[in-house]
Amino acid sequence: MTSPQREIEEIVHRETQAWNARDVDLLLSIFHPDIVWPWPPDADSHDPADWVFVLGRFDRERWRRAWQDLFDTHDLVHNRREIVRIAATPEKDGAFAVVDVDTLWRRRDGTDFHWKGRACKVYTKVAGEWKLIMHTGLLRYPVAGA
């Protein structure tokens, strides 16, 4: 039996693989049907009162179209992700992963679309399978001791 931490590490890596391969189906496989994804307007907007929803509650076909549009109109320049921490509930039915993300997309017209910051990805275990149920947008955090 694997630990929740190892299972969450696998799902984080599967998400990274989906972005790298620009594989919509693999990406959609990690989402819980009730996921919501608030997003800060910029990496310094730590106050959730300023956050917005870009895609709304998970709708497989709407999200498929949105991500496929990104993949069809942008090239992936780099996708660097580092897991900072994984924590699970004592009951092993909920977990979160803190992930530092540096993903650079480039539109075909040369315009950069940069995702850079720290995310908190929240998972729930349903019918024996982990699913991403909530994800904060990327935020910049000050360096410790600064």
* pLDDT of amino acid 26: 97
CATH 3.10.450.50 fits 4-135, yes or no: yes
Amino acid at 31: F
- Is 90 exceeded by the pLDDT of residue 54? no
Task: Find the length of the chain.
Answer: 146
pLDDT-based confidence at residue 143 (cuts at 50, 70, 90): low
Three-state DSSP state, 13 = helix
* pLDDT of amino acid 2: 75
* pLDDT of amino acid 137: 86
Nearest C-alpha neighbor of 41 from the set 142, 117, 133: 117
* pLDDT of amino acid 144: 53
Q: How far apart are CA 11 and CA 28, in angstroms?
A: 12
Cβ–Cβ under 8 Å, residues 85 and 112: no
* pLDDT of amino acid 146: 46
What ranges make up the beta strands (E) of the chain?
31-36, 38-39, 52-53, 74-88, 94-107, 112-126, 129-135
Average pLDDT of the chain, as a whole number:
93
